[in-house]
Amino acid sequence: MSSSSSYPATLDLEPWPAGSLQFETPLPGSKSLTLRDCAIAALANGTSTVRYPGEADDYWRMKDCLRRLGIAVDDSAEDRVTIHGHGGTFGPGRVELDVGQSAVTARLMLAIAALRPDTTVIDGHISMQKRPNQDLVDALSRLGATLESTNDGYLPTTVSGTRAWRGPARVPGTISSQYLTSLLIVAPLIEGGLTIEVNGDLTSKPYVDLTLDEMAKFGVVVDNRDYRRFVVPPKTYVAGDIAVEGDASAASYFAALATLHGARITLSNLGAATRQGDYGFLALCEKLGARVERRPQSTLIEGPRALAAAFEGPVDMTSMPDVAPTLMMIAPFLAKPTRITGLATLRVKECDRIAAPTRELRKLGMTVEEGPDFMVIEPLTAAAKSRREVVRIETYHDHRIAMSFGVLGSRVPGLRILDPGCVAKTYPNFWKDWQRARNALR
């Protein structure tokens, strides 16, 4: 399994010089789509091929978990993985799974393990052990599975299950859409199907849309009743050949770089047809003066000669929280304070993605107000602009903190990124691509 070991313990960033920049790059395959497609392929009846998967730690963890469950996974060919599903049948005996830092894999494995009559133990990285799963554990327990956690739903969790679940299932909509995604993906295998009810307003609806889209590609259509009730018929997934598009979350970093540097950056494998919610970040760049050309299979972002002074009012990131840290790194360069709202779910990610960037930005002399579900970031001061000493930026084992500060470090001097290799979780080549873009300046 690849890791972050190819990166040094720290990485000093040099701001990008002024100049003309035209740069084209493919993005890593979408993590969200890759993990969903691999899980569904493992539940399908027959052999599926997933093309252009996102090569990253989350994907490697998913493959390892599936193999431990007795699913044949062949990744010997470049840019594809072949998965041999058996309609939801797995290998016998006790199985121990390590999900690393992958929350999507953790939640999917909890639901898949609840189909197995034998014992499955699910554990992960220390940061994953701090992320809540109680509402999903409760939902699976009410359906008929047996789950035991040492700490109220946190990993490690021991699961033994059954295919004879007694529905309906109920999950809250305000904590994580991944709870709903995991239940939706296993639901077709339940005797008689499954109805899932959502309590409260559903957060991150675009991620649920992705789940429903990928299920449909494998032959299962879900009756979505206004995101409050989902009726999933009993049906066997049909094996297929699926291509994964570029990751829209990763696109945010290059869109931000283009916007801040007046550059032309083309993303060659992510286009207008995507259903990834984080593609909406490009509209924020447009509000700051960037020009975005959304082509069928690619996207061009051209930054403005001068940034707009500010957004008109607060920026609500409820539907795309994963790219909120990217927006935090653009905000200091605007002429007026930026209020970012809809951040409640960021408290329970790989780290607290409100507290962590607030702490690191303040190290750089920036003024940041932190609220329970919002941030207000003031414009960069003259003193902060003129600072010359090196500042150590803690990444908290969080790939998105590291990559977002890569955006900031393209304009602010003296950033030393700690644990830069944590980007391996979703984008192992991020720093190499960051440097390739910098080298393209002329």
Would you write out the chain's pLDDT as a tens digit for each of its 442 residues? 444 558 899 999 999 998 889 999 999 999 999 999 999 999 999 999 999 999 999 999 999 999 999 999 999 999 999 999 999 999 999 999 999 999 999 999 999 999 999 999 999 999 999 999 999 999 999 999 999 997 888 999 999 999 899 989 999 988 789 999 999 999 999 999 999 999 988 888 999 999 999 999 999 999 999 999 999 999 999 999 999 999 999 999 999 999 999 999 999 999 999 999 999 999 999 999 999 999 999 999 999 999 999 999 999 999 999 999 999 999 999 999 999 999 999 998 999 999 999 999 999 999 999 999 999 999 998 877 777 799 999 999 999 999 999 999 999 999 999 999 999 999 999 999 999 999 998 7
What does the buried/exposed string (b/e) look like for 133-164 if buried means 16 or more CB atoms within 10 Å of the residue's CB?
bebbbbbbeebebebebeeebbbbbbbbbbee
Q: Is 322 a catalytic residue?
A: yes
**Fold of domain 31-243:** UDP-n-acetylglucosamine1-carboxyvinyl-transferase; Chain (3.65.10)
Candidates 234, 236, 278, 228; CA nearest to 253 is 278
Asked if residue 209 lies in contact with residue 227, where contact means CB atoms within 8 angstroms, the answer is no
Q: Which residue ranges make up each domain of the chain?
A: 10-29+245-439, 31-243
Do 10-29+245-439 and 31-243 have matching folds? yes
In the three-class reduction of DSSP (H, G, I as helix; E, B as strand; rest coil), residue 73 is classed as strand
Other CB atoms within 10 Å distance of the CB of residue 235: 15
pTM of the complete model: 0.92
Return the beta strands (E) in 13-92 as ranges.
Answer: 22-25, 45-51, 72-74, 80-86
Q: What is the pLDDT of residue 168?
A: 95
Q: Which listed residue (98, 322, 398, 433) is catalytic?
A: 322
Distance (Å, whole) CA 146 – CA 154: 15
Q: State the amino acid at position 108 in one-letter form.
A: L
What does the buried/exposed string (b/e) look like for 47-85 if buried means 16 or more CB atoms within 10 Å of the residue's CB?
ebbbebbbbbbbbbbbbbbbebbebebebeeeebbbbbb
Under CATH, which number does the domain 10-29+245-439 receive?
A: 3.65.10.10
Q: 16 to each of 199, 246, 265, 339, 379, how far by Cα in Å?
A: 47, 25, 15, 27, 20
Q: What is the pLDDT of residue 4?
A: 52
Q: 300 to each of 26, 280, 306, how far by Cα in Å?
A: 12, 14, 18
What angle is formed at CA 78 by the lines to CA 75 and CA 84, rounded to 5 degrees? 30
